[in-house]
Amino acid sequence: MFCPQCGNQLEDGASFCGKCGAQLGGGAAPQGTKAPAAAPSSTPVSPAAVAAGAGSVAAGVMKTHGKLVIGGVVALVVVVAVIAGVVSMLTGGTTLGQTTDTIRRAFEAQQPYLVEVPSSDYTNDTPYSIASFEVTDMKVQNDDWLTAQVKTAVENESFRVDLTYSLDYYPYPDTAYRSPDQTGEYVFNLMSRTVTPKKGIEKDDVNGVGGEGLELNEETGTCQTTVDKTYQFWFADAVSTKTITYAVGEYGWYVEDENTTRKVTYKDLDGEYRAKTGDLTKLAQFTISGLNAETGTFTITYKINGWTEEGGWGNPDSYSEASGTLTAAIEPATSDYEGQSDGYSYYFEAQGDSDHGSRQASLSGYLIQSDDGSKSIEIDSMSIGQDETDGWNGEVSSTVFDGTGVVYKQ
């Protein structure tokens, strides 16, 4: 038989191996023979040796169980990283003690958004509240200060305002800005702002908007109103129709467009007129007729009395009567001069003929409302051809009668 431990040939029935001392049949070892025993060492094992031994064992294991060992190492690294992150957050080491909650409290205390919200020129002034708040990209810069980005939305009954700020946090005491529960300076710098209307305008005293206000067009983000206003003058009724479109910009509602149309109906111009003072007292007749209520055209029939004046060298210049007709047309225009309550001046020009002199006549003026309520026309130019006899040689030439002043309806 042979020893199963070292392969030494033995006698049949041997109870131990005489070469290596291995027990074979459970019998006792012969006297004088001892099994090898580990001798105690008085020399301590160095950490380096232990590490080396561990490395050798690990290397041996890796040869046979590589996948298992690699998986265990990766898992161990992940666990260590997670624990380190949790400890870092608990101690505040990577964010200088800042969290979304602490930054929000500082934001609520400073209320930087109050200077960014729209004006209440066309809306009722209601308080704003924070609808959403998000802090991202927190970074510590050289352990001296923290930067981050803040996205928030504030809203009241009329608007939603989306705001983006850059944040600088300086963790130093005795600074101007503090959160309620810590020292440190918070500086919010606006990066972007978007204003979204929640409803249409609620008031515009100038254009008569009030009550329930105007309905918001959700598709265009605008609202619109039409204002009709009637002006009554002795010579016309004017209806102004103004369509106003309101839009929202970064500062709130504003008038984006105004489109005004007018319809004027003329009246009460036909009749006789007389001047009270000035050159126009020479008018023996001034009659308006044939008024077209839609176009404002009419006809003037006039007559100027003849008169004589003393000329040079004792020879009188004689003037004969002149008469004729003029065709006039009113042209309303925006003007400060003789402007009526609707902001328009009702100016007219007339061209026609004279039966004397140059045979031509022209006239221009304004339809006005006198302070005393009289129906009056201010004539700023009236040129009528006249006959003039020259005192030197008796020749007859054309001259012009210039008259200005006010004529009143009789």
Instruction: Looking at the structure, tell me whether residues 287 and 398 fall in a common domain.
Output: yes
Tell me if 14 is assigned to some domain. Answer: no
Mean pLDDT within 222-228:
95
Output the pTM of the full model.
0.54
Tell me if 358 is assigned to some domain. Answer: yes
Q: Name the residue among 222, 218, 240 with its Cα closest to residue 231.
A: 240
In the predicted structure, residue 204 carries a pLDDT above the cut 60? yes
Instruction: Looking at the structure, tell me whether residues 287 and 393 fall in a common domain.
Output: yes
What is the residue type of 11? E
What is the residue type of 103? I
Tell me if 51 is assigned to some domain. Answer: no
* Residue 24 token pair: 């074979």
| CA pair distance 244, 149, nearest whole angstrom | 40
- Quote helix, strand, coil % in the chain, to nearest 5: 15, 45, 40
The residue that leads in pLDDT, 408 or 17, is 408
Q: Note the pLDDT of residue 182.
A: 55
Instruction: Looking at the structure, tell me whether residues 240 and 185 fall in a common domain.
Output: no
- For residue 232, the enclosing domain spans 205-261
Least confident of 132-141, 194-203, 352-361: 352-361
* Residue 385 token pair: 């051809």
Instruction: Looking at the structure, tell me whether residues 226 and 192 fall in a common domain.
Output: no
**Cβ partners under 8 Å of residue 286, min gap 6:** 272, 273, 274, 275, 280, 300, 301, 302, 407
Q: Note the pLDDT of residue 55.
A: 43
Tell me if 361 is assigned to some domain. Answer: yes
Q: Kind of pairing, strands 145-155 and 129-141?
A: antiparallel
Tell me if 215 is assigned to some domain. Answer: yes
| CA pair distance 99, 136, nearest whole angstrom | 10
Tell me if 5 is assigned to some domain. Answer: no
Instruction: Looking at the structure, tell me whether residues 307 and 388 fall in a common domain.
Output: yes
Mean pLDDT within 67-78:
40
How deeply is 2 buried, as exposed, middle or buried, from its count of CB atoms within 10 A (0-12, 13-18, 19+)? exposed
Q: Note the pLDDT of residue 12.
A: 79
Total of domains in the chain: 3
Instruction: Looking at the structure, tell me whether residues 404 and 278 fall in a common domain.
Output: yes
Least confident of 166-175, 199-208, 305-314, 315-324: 305-314
Compute CA distances 141 → 134, 146, 343, whole Å.
Answer: 20, 6, 64
Instruction: Looking at the structure, tell me whether residues 275 and 368 fall in a common domain.
Output: yes
Least confident of 1-5, 101-105, 242-246, 307-311: 307-311
Q: Note the pLDDT of residue 6.
A: 72
pLDDT digits (tens, 9 = 90+) for 384-408: 876 555 556 656 555 667 789 999 9
Instruction: Looking at the structure, tell me whether residues 189 and 239 fall in a common domain.
Output: no
Q: Name the residue among 286, 319, 305, 288 with its Cα closest to residue 405.
A: 286
Instruction: Looking at the structure, tell me whether residues 405 and 279 fall in a common domain.
Output: yes
Task: Quote the mean pLDDT of the chain.
Answer: 79
Q: Note the pLDDT of residue 1.
A: 64
Q: Note the pLDDT of residue 394.
A: 58
In the predicted structure, residue 32 carries a pLDDT above the cut 90? no
Q: Which of 168, 197, 226 is the last residue of a domain?
A: 197
| CA pair distance 301, 304, nearest whole angstrom | 11
Q: Name the residue among 158, 137, 140, 163 with its Cα closest to residue 148.
A: 137
Query: What stretches of 14-171 adopt beta strand conformation (E)?
Result: 129-141, 145-155, 159-170
Q: Note the pLDDT of residue 129.
A: 97
How deeply is 272 buried, as exposed, middle or buried, from its count of CB atoms within 10 A (0-12, 13-18, 19+)? middle
Least confident of 36-50, 290-304, 347-361: 36-50
**Cβ partners under 8 Å of residue 85, min gap 6:** none
In the predicted structure, residue 80 carries a pLDDT above the cut 70? no
Mean pLDDT within 102-112:
96
Instruction: Looking at the structure, tell me whether residues 192 and 213 fall in a common domain.
Output: no
Q: Note the pLDDT of residue 81.
A: 40
Tell me if 91 is assigned to some domain. Answer: no
Q: Which of 156, 173, 197 is the last residue of a domain?
A: 197
Instruction: Looking at the structure, tell me whether residues 256 and 297 fall in a common domain.
Output: no
Dihedral angle of Cα 182, 187, 188, 189, to the nearest 10 degrees? -170
Tell me if 41 is assigned to some domain. Answer: no
User: In this structure, are residues 320 and 356 in contact, taking their beta carbons and an 8 Å threshold?
Assistant: yes
pLDDT band at 50 (very low <50, low <70, confident <90, very high): very low
| CA pair distance 346, 329, nearest whole angstrom | 10
Instruction: Looking at the structure, tell me whether residues 114 and 240 fall in a common domain.
Output: no
